[in-house]
A and B are shown apart, each in its own frame.
Chain A
Amino acid sequence: MLSYIIRRIGYSLVMLVLVSFVGFVIIELPPGDFLTQLLTELEGRGDRSAEDRVTELRLRYGLDIPLLPRYVQWATNFVRGDFGESFALERPVREVIAQRFWLTCALAVASILMVWVIAIPIGVFSATHQYTIGDQIFTTISFIGLGVPGFLLALLLLFYVVQFTDVDILGLFSREYRDAPWSFAKFIDLLKHLWLPALIGSITGTAGLIRIMRGNLLDTLGQPFVESARARGLKSRTVTWKHAVRMAINPLIVILGSEALPGIIVGNALVATVLNLPTIGPEFVRALQRQDMYLAGTTLVFFTLILLVGNLLADLALAWLDPRIRLE
C-alpha cells in the first residue's frame, strides 16, 4: 500500500509541474503584455511614478529574460507562495485567492455531498425497482437533468427570482451577515444559502451518477454472490446494501474523482458567475475578461490542483477499499 501511495503521489507531483507550465504559458499567451497597457494608462492619468512602478514590476517578473528561466523564476515564486500580482485589482494574487478560498471549498464540498446524498439512494432505488413507475420517473428526471447545464438553469433561476420574488435567496449570505465577521449565526446562515448553488452546480454530475449507479447495481445484482447471499436467507436490505452496493460503488469513486469533480468545479464556477457568489470562479472569469493573466493563470493551476488532489484521494480511497488495486 505504501509503495502505491508513494508512486501515486509522485505521479501527481509530475502532473502538477506540467500543469503549472501550461498555466505559465497561458499567462504569457496574450499578445502585448499587460504592463505596456498599464504604462500607457497610468501615463494617461498623469501618474508620474508610473514608469518607476512598471520598471519595478518588469524586473520582478523578469519580463526581459527568456521564457524558460522566466518559468523557473515564476515556479520558484509560486512554490514560495508568491503568485504574482493581479494588475487589475492591484493586489497580490495570493490575497485574492485566499479571500475566496474557504467559500469555494465549502461550495465544492456541499456539491459533492449533494451529489452523493441524492444520487446513491436514487440509483439504488431505481436498480432495485427496475421498470417500476418510480424507476421510470427517476430515470426520466436524471435524463432531463443531464441535458440542463447548471449555468443555464442558474440564469433561469435568476429570472424567476428577479421577476416573481424579492426573496433574498441568491448569494451565500443574507444581507445582514454579508459583511459581518464570522460567527456561529453567520455559519448557519451560510448553510441555509449554500444548498441552492450547490444543487444547481452539481445537477449534471448528480444526474450522471444516478444513471451510472443504477447501471452498476443492476450488473452486480445479477451476479452469483448476490444470489448466494439471498439463498442463505439474508434480508433483502442487507443483500442490497452490504453486498451489492458495496461492490457497485467502487467504480463510482473513480468517476467521482475523474468526472464528477471537474464537473462540479466547472459547474460551480459558471453558476457562481451567474449568481455572483464570492467564490473563485467569478474572479477567474473576470480576470480572463480583463486579461489579468497572473490571476487567471494561477487560478487555472489552482483549479487543476484541486482536481489532482481529488483524483489522488479517489484513487487512494479505491485502493483502500479494493485490495486488488494495491497489488497491481
Chain B
Amino acid sequence: MSTAVPESFAEDQNTKEISQNYWVLVWWRFRQNKLAMFGGFLIIAYYFVCALTAEFWSPYLVDTTSDYLEAPPQRLQFRHEGRFQARPFVYGLTEEVDMTLRKRFFVVDKSVRYPIHLFVRGEEYRLAGLIPSNIHFFGVSSEESPDGYVYLFGTDRLGRDLFTRIIYGGRLSLLIGLIGQFLTISLGATLGVVSGWYGRVVDLLVQRITEFLSAFPDIPLFMALAAAIPPEWSPIAVYFMLTIILACVRWGGLARQVRGLVLSLREREYVLAAQSFGSSDWRVMFRHLIPGATSHIIVISTLAIPGMILAETALSWLGLGLRPPLTSWGVLLYEVSGIRAIQFSPWMLITIPVIIGAIWGFNMLGDGLRDALDPYGGQ
C-alpha cells in the first residue's frame, strides 16, 4: 500500500490531462456526426431566439392586441400583378361576414400592400429584461404604412399575433425543460450517488422509492398533482410548482442509472486512493463519483428534456398546467382544443410543428452525444 500511494497520486496528477483529452476526443467525434451537429445548432437557435431574444425576433409584443381577431396567416408575397418586387410584402385583410355561418372572416385585399422591412422601429421592449430597445427583426414600417400589420401565422381570438406568441411561448416551455431537468439532475444524481455509495439501508430506501415512482404512469400523475395546485396561486407560482412536480416524479430513472455507475466506480483505484488520503464521503461523492458519471448524466438529461417540454405542453393544453395570461406552447394549444376552433382557426396548430422541431433537435443532439461520449468504444 505504501508504494501504491505515490503511484495513484501521480495518476491523480495526470487525470487532468487525460480528462481534457477525453473531452477533446468527444468533441472530435461529435463534430463528425452531421445530424448531431444540426440538432445542437437547432437547440441553440431555439433557446437563443425564444428564451433570450424573443422580443427582437417577434414583430409585436406578446400582449399587443389588434382589431384583427382570428385573422388567417398573411402570405409573404414577392410578386404584385405579375411583377417581381424587390421588397417582399403582405396584402391587407378585409373583414367580411358570412350570414349563413354567422361568422366573420377575412379575405385578402389585393389593393393594399404592406412592404416588410428588416430592423424596423416598433414597440418598446427590454431585451432579455435589460437592454431597452425598439428595433424588431422584421415588421412593417410605421412611417411608410402607419396602419399596416403583418401576421405571418395569423392571429388568435384576441387579435394577438401568433408568430409573436409562439416565439414568446417557447420561452416558458423551453425553460421548463431546462429548469425541470436541472432539478431532476440535482435530485436524481445526489440520491443516486448517495444510494450507491452508502448502500444498505439508504440504498434500500432510495431503491424502493424509485420503484414506487416508476409504478405510476407519469403524465396522469402529473395531471393529478397539477390539478391540485390551488387556482388562486399567481401564474409564476404555478409555473415553479409545475417544474417541481415534474422533477419530483422524474428523478427516479436518473438516480437508478447513477447508482449503477457508482457501484462500478467505487472500486476504482482513483476512488480508493481518494479514500486512503482521508477524503470525506462528501468529497469522494461530489469530487470523484459524480464527475465520473457526468457523461451519462448529460446524455440521459438531453434525452429527457423533450419529455419535460411535452409534459408541460400536454398539461397546459388540457387546462391543468399553465394558464393565461402566461404564454407557453401548451397554452397556445389550449386555445385550439375543440373541433370548432380547429375548423375556424386551424393556423393555431402551427405551434405543433414548432414543438416537434424542438423535440427532434434534442433527440438528435442526445443521440449524437451518446455516441460521442463513449469515444473509446464503438470504433
Asked if B199 CB lies within 8 Å of chain A CBs, one says no
Interface residues as binary, B354-371 with A (CB distance below 8 Å gives 1, 0 otherwise): 011001100100010000
Contact of A149 (CB < 8 Å), options: B212, B214, B310:
B310
B221 touches A300 (CB 8 A): yes
B228: chain A residues within 8 A (beta carbon):
26, 29-30
* Segment with Cβ contacts to B, from A174-182, A216-224, A285-293, A314-322: A285-293
A262 touches B352 (CB 8 A): no
Of residues 306 through 364 on chain B, the ones whose CB sits less than 8 Å from some CB of chain A are 306, 310, 313-314, 317-320, 333, 336, 339, 342-343, 346, 349, 352, 355-356, 359-360, 363
The smallest C-beta distance from A175 to any residue of chain B, in angstroms, reads 16
CA distance A146 to B230 in the complex (A): 34
- How many residues of A are counted as interface, with CB atoms below 8 angstroms from the partner's CB atoms? 43
CA distance A311 to B215 in the complex (A): 9
Asked if B220 CB lies within 8 Å of chain A CBs, one says yes
B227 touches A152 (CB 8 A): no
A162 touches B356 (CB 8 A): no
Contact of A147 (CB < 8 Å), options: B218, B349, B356:
B356
A158 touches B339 (CB 8 A): yes
The smallest C-beta distance from A316 to any residue of chain B, in angstroms, reads 17
The smallest C-beta distance from B299 to any residue of chain A, in angstroms, reads 15
The smallest C-beta distance from A177 to any residue of chain B, in angstroms, reads 21
Asked if A148 CB lies within 8 Å of chain B CBs, one says yes
A152 touches B320 (CB 8 A): no
B220 touches A284 (CB 8 A): yes
Nearest-CB residue, chain A, relative to B232: A31
CA distance A196 to B117 in the complex (A): 46
- How many residues of B are counted as interface, with CB atoms below 8 angstroms from the partner's CB atoms? 38
A15 touches B314 (CB 8 A): no
The smallest C-beta distance from A178 to any residue of chain B, in angstroms, reads 16
Asked if A173 CB lies within 8 Å of chain B CBs, one says no
Asked if A128 CB lies within 8 Å of chain B CBs, one says no
Asked if A151 CB lies within 8 Å of chain B CBs, one says yes
CA distance A262 to B363 in the complex (A): 20
Asked if A156 CB lies within 8 Å of chain B CBs, one says yes
Asked if A206 CB lies within 8 Å of chain B CBs, one says no
A270 touches B314 (CB 8 A): yes
A158 touches B227 (CB 8 A): no
B25: chain A residues within 8 A (beta carbon):
none
B342 touches A162 (CB 8 A): yes
Asked if B225 CB lies within 8 Å of chain A CBs, one says yes
A147: chain B residues within 8 A (beta carbon):
306, 356, 359-360, 363
A151: chain B residues within 8 A (beta carbon):
314, 317
From DSSP, what is the main secondary structure of chain B's interface residues? helix
Nearest-CB residue, chain B, relative to A11: B211
CA distance A162 to B348 in the complex (A): 14
CA distance A304 to B346 in the complex (A): 35
Asked if A107 CB lies within 8 Å of chain B CBs, one says no
Nearest-CB residue, chain A, relative to B347: A159
New contact pairs (11) apart from A15-B211, A156-B352, CB-CB < 8 Å: A15-B215, A18-B215, A19-B215, A29-B225, A155-B349, A159-B346, A262-B218, A284-B223, A285-B318, A288-B318, A300-B221
Per CB-CB distance, the 9 closest pairs between chain A and chain B, nearest first, are A29-B228, A288-B227, A147-B359, A266-B219, A262-B217, A147-B360, A26-B224, A152-B352, A265-B217
CA distance A297 to B228 in the complex (A): 11
Contact of A162 (CB < 8 Å), options: B212, B220, B306, B339:
B339
CA distance A147 to B313 in the complex (A): 14
CA distance A311 to B211 in the complex (A): 12
Interface residues as binary, A283-311 with B (CB distance below 8 Å gives 1, 0 otherwise): 01100110100001101100110011001
The smallest C-beta distance from B176 to any residue of chain A, in angstroms, reads 16
Nearest-CB residue, chain B, relative to A16: B215
Asked if A163 CB lies within 8 Å of chain B CBs, one says yes
A307 touches B217 (CB 8 A): yes
B306: chain A residues within 8 A (beta carbon):
147
The smallest C-beta distance from A169 to any residue of chain B, in angstroms, reads 14
B227 touches A296 (CB 8 A): yes
Nearest-CB residue, chain A, relative to B224: A26
B310: chain A residues within 8 A (beta carbon):
149
Asked if A250 CB lies within 8 Å of chain B CBs, one says no
The smallest C-beta distance from A154 to any residue of chain B, in angstroms, reads 10
Nearest-CB residue, chain A, relative to B310: A149
B346 touches A288 (CB 8 A): no
The smallest C-beta distance from A127 to any residue of chain B, in angstroms, reads 17
Asked if A273 CB lies within 8 Å of chain B CBs, one says yes
B314 touches A289 (CB 8 A): no
CA distance A147 to B362 in the complex (A): 9
The smallest C-beta distance from B187 to any residue of chain A, in angstroms, reads 18
